[in-house]
Structure 1
Amino acid sequence: MKTKVQWRRQIVFALIVAALAWGMYSGFRPQPVVVEFGEAVRAPLRVTVEQEGRTRVVDRYVVTAPVDGYARRIALDVGDTVEAGVPLVALEATRSAVLDARRHAEAEARVAAAQANLAAVEQRVLAAEAGAELSGKELARIRTLRAAGHVTADAADRAVAADDRAGAELRSARFTVATARHELEAARTALGYAAAGGAGEPVLVRAPVAGQVLKIPRKSEGAVESGQPLVEIGDPRALEVEVDVLSADAVRIRPGTRVLFERWGGEGALEGVVRVIEPAGFTKVSALGVEEQRVWVIVDFKSPPETWQRLGDGYRVEASFVLWEGANVLQVPASALFRDGDAWAAFVVEEGRAVRRRIDTGQRTGLIAEALGGLKEGDRVVVHPDDRLRDGVKVSGR
């Protein structure tokens, strides 16, 4: 018969063997893959294109200077209401330049030079008159001698030419005197009226329409050129939104597309509708330095005006273009899908094991995908499947 000590030894040995066997079994048996689960649910789904936009006044009028002149200080301020035909800016004639001591002395010297030039040309007129008188007398004497036959016809012709030449020189000298007098008058005017204000009534630039002042490029007085912007006028109650979207997204947007404006600063979301997609794109460099082709999309507000009247010209809004939406859509996380040949597939959890199943997909957003077939409501799927998953592998949730 076995003693108690022998029985105890056998029991301890059996327990050790059992512990070793359990440890080996636990260490070598397949462990469930720890994954994150998602669920197929029915809920509203909306496919959108989201971009930043900004408001702008529908009809903006830039009032420019009609002529070169000197603009008086503009008394209006941004935000002031103006009526059609009200004077906005008064334009005076261009003012003369201010002369310093050196330029003033130069102007006086030009006056003195003009006076001397006038005296010189007047003396040339006297000389020309004397020459013309002498040639006239000579021509009369030659004609008398020619009639008597004492001079040749050639001498008579030379006398006629000399008289014509003397007459032309006299007329030229008189024209020179007139020019010198005008130059003297101009020099005296420049000296006498330098730095004087413009004469005559100012030109009043009036408001073309009723509205509010949106922008004043320069409020202070000063010289302006023809076509230079002076005041911008518009009606801030008539707003639209301009949004630049990627050209790849613009082809998915159509006139009449519904638009939601969120995070605009007020309560709730505003609604709008696409009026036009501009036919020409432009290149824009993104914040990452990548060149992108973008297109302007113009949107009209559809919400009641009292809900968005707090917006003004150039305000930032977040625009969501609704491309498609459904009220009761079976959907799963888009991160649960992966390519399986030419189709999409997902790992569906059945009795603790991952089962590969092909999924027919419909509309997609960045995070959600519509399931048209292969899933039913309540099915659990593996989100972000990795290469450890195989068909039939046990899985457990985190």
Structure 2
Amino acid sequence: MAESDWKRVVAQLRLGLDGPTSEQVSLAACLGFSFVPETSVHVAAAFLRLRSAAALLLPGPRRFDDSAYEYLERICAEIGIPAPPRADVPNRDVLDAWLAAAWARRSIQHLERLEPCVGDVVVAPPLRHGEENRHGVINSIRSDGRLNFVGGRNGGARIHRVLRIVRPNEPDYDKLTLKAREEVAQANPFPERLTRAQQAALEPFKVKRRPSPADREALREALDTATSERDMQVLLERHPSLLAGTVKGNHGTWVRRQVRLGNSYVPDFLMASETSAGVSWHLVELESPTARLTNAGNQRESPTLRTAINQIHDWREWLTNNLLSARTELPGITAQSRGLIIMGREDPTDRAEGIRDRHSRESRIEIRTYDWLLRAVEGEGIALLGLLDLETDELDLDAWSD
């Protein structure tokens, strides 16, 4: 059982060290022996099992070797108590009981030394030689003194291994908190696999149908009159199936509008689709349908397109630094999520195939027009497969074959 107060954990650990219980004393008297007052509950229980083994048909004594006893001596020396003489440790059960008592005393010492609190940042040694120190934010304290970290996934540290505790009022607390969150996010080997709880959290944003004739007609009408990004933002908020129809989501598709990323960024849309391979997110940036993709004179990226590309790079940088907190609201998202820019109309004087292909291959940013969006949702066969997924899969295959 986990606690939030280290003092309660210490009090619980001390219950096993304060001497044999009255029940243990009574049982020992019935069996014809007694305990010295400082005998721990753990050791008393082991001797009771030893003395009653024959009557209770318990398994025979397990032996131990020199290395096991030397380990007990080392732990006792570490916490400053004498180790029991080897002659007083008749079997492995008693040895394990002495170790349990020694470990409890060690945890008490370090809990009282460090006074860890929920929300503190822990600096702990690496799990493997040659790696960097680990960081974690304390979520709770286990009954044996182990510190549990925010983010789960078995993250935590034994209290005696902690190198440093950093409090919220210390100068580097914010920096180390960010580092701890990054480490938790990186430790998840399958972020794309949604749990049932994560699917339930996304349920309000789920798009449960393909684009209807009414959705498609609304898009056509908007393209006849729209002159700004805002016009298209309002349209797609009212008809989220238009965006969802560009991707394949056998197990679900979700569209979220204007999710705030920290204090600086608000993408127009974040779109997720789940297949048997897991969930994929798209970072969607809208621009005006009247904007050009290229400059009229030199066919290079227009300032509007360059700004949109930079926006997606900014969002990815924020995700890199805040991945764990982002996944609380956007489960499975990664800093490498594909970007999608929708802007302009198809125009023979505004050819951007080379620019589009380069950004797709090098930056995983797809650049499309609103005419493309209309095509993506008009064809029933294409809509079922997701035109954006079809196109990007082909590019990925081409890159792999190169």
TM-score, normalised by the number of residues in structure 1: 0.24
User: When you count helix as a share of all residues, which structure comes out higher?
Assistant: 2
Larger RCO: 1 or 2 (CA < 8 Å, sep 6+): 1
Instruction: Choose between structure 1 and 2: higher strand proportion.
Output: 1
Larger radius of gyration: 1
